[in-house]
Amino acid sequence: MPSTLAAAEPFTPEEARALDPYFGNTDSPVFVLTNLPEAVKGALFARYSRSAKSARRLFLDEFLGDVAPAGAPTGAGPGGERAERLYTKVFNEYGDDSVAQLGGAHIACEGVSNVLTKVLERGRLMSYLEQSTRYVPYTQRPGGQWKYVVPGEIEDPDDRALYVATLDRAFETYARWIEPLQAHYRIQFPRAPGDSEGVHRAAIRAKALDTLRGLLPAATRSNVGIYGSGQAYEALLLRMRAHPLAESREVADLMLPELRKVIPAFVQRVDRDDRGVAWSRYLEERNRRARAVAGGTDRDTEWRRHLDPPASGASDAEVALTEFDPDGEARVVAALLYAGSGLPYAQLLAAARAMPAEERVGIIRAGVGARANRRQRPGRAFEQTAYTFDVLSDYGAFRDLQRHRMLTIEWQDLTPQHGFAPPDPAVDATGARSDWHAVMEASAALSERLARRYSAVVAQYAVAMAYRIRFQMRMNAREAMHVIELRTSPQGHPAYRRVSRRMHEQIAEQAGHTAIAEAMRFIGRDDVDLERLAAEKASERKRLAQAPAAAPGADG
């Protein structure tokens, strides 16, 4: 078959040598950019959009003389200064904010509270990895201190002493019960003949840590790795600088100079009085006003008089489908037909509404195809209908579900008012019940004191992760498929597996979207004793497959 590729642009030997450190090749129309500052890459592509020249020719003609030698520092110093000057020139003359989408950075935020991790992980167009309470036991005491944040807002010495004493007891209780829980689970779930000792040990430990994580407060320190574009970081920093928590503002002040070492031009507006500072002031005032209205403390609102009494049990439901489109499956059918039909959407929607249910189901099944695993998902036609769920789950499950980004999620403050999720039966079986309840009671008392004396936002630090938090998730059917299938997989935590299964049930039964629910073929429906066992076995198989073969005569 004849090639469709464009002919390679010719370069002289001297030009090819100049390009070699910065481009993956000089003889193909497809190439990667290497060894260039992020701002230079963004500026080059911005210029690219307004020139008839190729990227490599533009680089030779307009950029090469301003770039530090390959291997030289590309942030601070001469390379960074050149990059910033190039970006500013192109931004002002050719581009707009989208230029800041073309460069990115990795940043680590270590030892931040679990309250702050939710602020850091709010942006949709960023990637995050967070330290897991499942794999990392919180038993170390660096500098003699348990791993939790003491918020700077707590200035009263008596309040501070009570806070430290309460959280110390919570961590001591958590650490004391890890081994008894592991011993209990080793008896309850003995190692199968085909499982290695290492696999079984890892699964048992994960089970014990999963059970006990509810004792840890939201102040527990965590490490978060973030990757994002310059534009995404600018938005994140503006939000953090406007946040009511001192920890958020303090960490933002540390992030900005670090980001300026690698993407200085992309965050230059963050602390300018007429740009970022003004924007953060707007966000701060907007959020303050919204909280005042919602809390009933704003004199301009009397909205609570319109509230109806809640239906019996409705406010305590773990998962409630509060909004959906009864016409949703017809919209998906119309969207599936749209690309290949040559007809307007309105005409297709009318036809989808008129056709028998079994015919709609057949079209949806055809659009889904023969999925072999959960990573194979239908196309964007499934984005034509959406679901809104009101969820009341423990904070640990919320932490995992909140990291899904291609949806809309809002959450309320973490408080003790909704009670705590009942612990695993192993807590009773090992005699830890009284200790568990003591931690919960002390957590609630401290949180209520901090809310009175400081604010509900600060009081969150004291609340144990077993307490429930209310949050709302709105997602289209395609994202619902991803969330539900991923979060019901056998290795998942029981709390969010249960939430996700109920979401699936309500899509099928309450919304009546049976064809969409049927398309979610990889729902984990069975309860699993050792959630991490299968995953640990799979990891071991991969490690063994990748390990080099032992040399002849080597010890086993």
Claim to verify: residue 201 and residue 117 sit in the same structural domain: yes
Mean pLDDT of 398-422: 94
- Picking from 102, 119, 138, the residue at the C-terminal end of a domain is 102
Is-contact 94 47, C-beta < 8 A? yes
Claim to verify: residue 134 and residue 213 sit in the same structural domain: yes
Q: Is the residue at 111 inside a domain?
A: yes
- CA nearest neighbour of 100 among 237, 279, 233, 261: 233
pLDDT above 70 for 206: yes
Burial 191-222 (b: 16+ CB within 10 A, else e): eeeebeeebbebbbbbbbbbbbbbbbbbbbbb
Q: Is the residue at 457 inside a domain?
A: no
Claim to verify: residue 243 and residue 153 sit in the same structural domain: yes
Task: Look at 293 and 461; give whichever has higher pLDDT.
Answer: 461
For strands 319-324 and 386-394, give the pairing. antiparallel
- Cα dihedral sign, 240-460-109-211: negative
Question: Which residues, at least 6 apart from 527, have a Cβ–Cβ distance to it below 8 Å?
Answer: 494
Residue pLDDT, tens place only, 324-348: 999 999 999 999 999 999 999 999 9
Mean pLDDT of 207-213: 94
pLDDT above 90 for 363: yes
Is-contact 490 528, C-beta < 8 A? yes
- CA nearest neighbour of 417 among 469, 491, 365: 469
Query: Which uninterrupted H or E stretch holds 105?
Result: strand 104-113
Q: Please state the φ and ψ torsions of residue 227, each to the nearest 5 degrees.
A: -125, 135
Domain range spanning residue 41? Answer: 13-102
Angle at 555 between CA 553 and CA 556, to 5 degrees: 115
Task: Look at 479 and 551; give whichever has higher pLDDT.
Answer: 479
- Which ranges in 59-150 belong to alpha helices (H)? 78-93, 114-120
- Picking from 102, 130, 165, the residue at the C-terminal end of a domain is 102
Q: Which two tokens stand for residue 527?
A: 């309860």
- Cα dihedral sign, 307-312-318-324: negative
Q: Is the residue at 320 inside a domain?
A: no
Burial 265-279 (b: 16+ CB within 10 A, else e): bbbbbbeeeeebbeb
Claim to verify: residue 353 and residue 271 sit in the same structural domain: no
Give the pLDDT confidence score for residue 422 in this predicted structure.
94
Claim to verify: residue 63 and residue 96 sit in the same structural domain: yes
Give the pLDDT confidence score for residue 307 in this predicted structure.
81
Give the pLDDT confidence score for residue 299 in this predicted structure.
59
Claim to verify: residue 57 and residue 185 sit in the same structural domain: no
Claim to verify: residue 145 and residue 266 sit in the same structural domain: yes
Is-contact 486 506, C-beta < 8 A? no
Residue pLDDT, tens place only, 52-71: 888 899 899 988 876 666 55
Residue pLDDT, tens place only, 475-500: 999 999 999 999 999 888 889 999 99
Task: Look at 147 and 533; give whichever has higher pLDDT.
Answer: 147
405 band by pLDDT with thresholds 50, 70 and 90? confident
78 band by pLDDT with thresholds 50, 70 and 90? very low
**Which of 76-85, 180-189, 293-302, 521-530 shows the highest mean pLDDT?**
180-189
Claim to verify: residue 98 and residue 119 sit in the same structural domain: no
pLDDT above 90 for 48: no
Claim to verify: residue 290 and residue 176 sit in the same structural domain: yes
Q: Is the residue at 507 inside a domain?
A: no
pLDDT above 80 for 225: yes
- CA nearest neighbour of 267 among 282, 252, 281: 252
- CATH number of domain containing 208: 3.30.1360.170
Q: Is the residue at 494 inside a domain?
A: no
pLDDT above 80 for 253: yes
Q: Is the residue at 166 inside a domain?
A: yes
- Picking from 247, 275, 294, the residue at the C-terminal end of a domain is 294
Is-contact 187 112, C-beta < 8 A? no
pLDDT above 60 for 73: no
Is-contact 220 466, C-beta < 8 A? no
Claim to verify: residue 280 and residue 195 sit in the same structural domain: yes
How far apart, in whole angstroms, are the C-alpha atoms of residue 111 and residue 117? 10
Return mean pLDDT, the chain.
88
Q: 43-47, 249-253, 334-338: which range is least confident on average? A: 43-47
Give the pLDDT confidence score for residue 75 in this predicted structure.
45
Whole-structure pTM value:
0.87
pLDDT above 80 for 555: no
pLDDT above 50 for 196: yes
Burial degree of 41 (CB within 10 A; 0-12, 13-18, 19+): buried
Domain count, the chain: 3
**Which of 41-45, 65-69, 128-132, 300-304 shows the highest mean pLDDT?**
128-132
Claim to verify: residue 126 and residue 244 sit in the same structural domain: yes
Task: Look at 203 and 307; give whichever has higher pLDDT.
Answer: 203
Q: 6-10, 30-34, 77-81, 388-392: which range is least confident on average? A: 77-81
Q: Is the residue at 316 inside a domain?
A: no
Q: Is the residue at 386 inside a domain?
A: no
Q: What are the CA-CA distances from residue 216 to residues 59, 112, 296 (Å)? A: 53, 14, 32
What Rg, from alpha-carbon coordinates, does the chain have? Answer: 28
Claim to verify: residue 115 and residue 191 sit in the same structural domain: yes
In order, the DSSP letters of 384-406 are GSEEEEEEEEEHHHHHHHHT--S
